[in-house]
Amino acid sequence: MPQNDGDTPQNIDASYEPVLSAEVRAALADGLPVVALESTIIAHGLPRPRNLRVALELEGIVRSAGAVPATIAVLDGRAHVGLEKDQLERVATDPAVRKLGHRDLAPALALGASGATTVSATAFLAARAGLRFFATGGLGGVHREWAENQDESADLRLLARTGITVVCAGVKSILDVPATLQRLETLGVGIVGYGTTHFPGFYLSSSGHPVDWTVHSPGDVVEVVRAKEALGGPGTALIVANPVPEADQLDPALHDRVLAEALDACRERGITGQGVTPFLLDQLMRRTEGASLEANLAAVRGNVRLAAEIAAAAAVR
Ligand code: PSU
Ligand code: MN
């Protein structure tokens, strides 16, 4: 047991500390740029076997932009920040890999479970390991028909309490986007549009809702982060809302039609809780014959590249 320095709880069990991969540990020690990547999109958001190829491709995108990837997951009760290739393979292929939000971390660690981490769990573990930049596809948020079932992703509240910069293509369009934007305002989570005056629509380049602030370069984002960190105050996330290029977006009319069908199917089958988001993403993919998947991947790739560029720009300051 290490000596108590007054800041560390006495009875902390070191085996619950996140494990940093050798590459991530070395990068952090040398001040090199590191980008956190979530694993739920790999385990539960994308079809197999493509998911593994995508996971490796995303890590490659981070590297080619001059940063180190840190995919985050829990394996056999240990939280990992940065995965070796065999560990990434396991996340992508093992059906026993659960979906873990922030609140699931303690039981998963204590009970020796394995799981992919959502935005809430990934942002938490990333920030705890000292990472400042994080990329995903679309954030969770307030679901449609919130009034009936109060389904709101834990992503929002966690981002309100975690000082990290998350690059995303907005929130998933399966959600109630204006309600989610309202919630983010209430929670005090900052949003900057990347080269856009409108909040992106995940599969679509625009959700149709305006954002208050627009930035134009990785350097702009770094300045906003610097200002936020200099101001201090509660650790709160900054959302960099990066639209999928128009050429890669899903046809908006097709999107609206199949989304309505998918929401009906979700209701008819009585899907609730953690199952809702993967079900809707899968339904959209089937009902668009894969077109939604291509738009989703284009958005994620762009976000990962931008997060790496931002991390690299921050590292040279
Ligand atoms: N972005 C994607 N695909 C996904 C997700 C995000 O492009 O599958 C995942 C993220 O892990 C996010 C989660 O945190 O969906 C939200 O799930 P829920 O609505 O159950 O909180
Ligand atoms: Mn939910």
Beta strands in the chain (DSSP E): 19-20, 34-37, 68-75, 78-81, 98-100, 115-117, 133-135, 165-168, 190-194, 214-215, 238-241
Q: Does residue 218 sit in the same domain as residue 292? A: yes
State the average pLDDT over residues 277-295.
96
Residue 137 lies in a domain: no
Q: pTM of the full predicted structure?
A: 0.94
Q: Which of 74, 102, 131 is the last residue of a domain?
A: 131
Do β-strands 68-75 and 115-117 pair in parallel, antiparallel, or remain unpaired? antiparallel
Name the residue at shortest CA distance from atom 16 of ligand 1. 140
- State the closest ligand 1 atom to the C-alpha of 143, by its place in the atom list counted from 1: 19
* Mean pLDDT value of segment 130-136: 98
My answer on whether 122 and 54 are in the same domain is yes
Q: Which of 76, 109, 131 is the last residue of a domain?
A: 131
Domain range for 98 = 1-131
The pLDDT tens digits for 223-265 are 999 999 999 988 999 999 999 999 999 999 999 999 999 999 9
Mean pLDDT for all residues in the chain: 95
The ipTM is 0.94
SS (H, E, C) 69-105: EEEEEEECCEEEECCCHHHHHHHHHCCCCEEECHHHH
What pLDDT shows up at residue 15? 83
Q: 131, 156, 171: which is the final residue of a domain?
A: 131
CATH of the domain at 301: 3.40.1790.10
Amino acid, single-letter form, for residue 300: V
Which residues sit with their C-beta closer than 6 Å to ligand 1? 38, 40-41, 44-45, 118-119, 136-138, 140, 153-155, 274, 277, 281, 296, 300
Inform me whether the pLDDT recorded for 157 exceeds 50.
yes
Count how many domains the chain has.
2
The CA 64 to ligand 1 mean position distance, Å, reads: 25
Q: Are residues 39 and 69 in the same domain?
A: yes
Kindly indicate the confidence band of residue 3, based on its pLDDT and cuts at 50, 70 and 90: very low
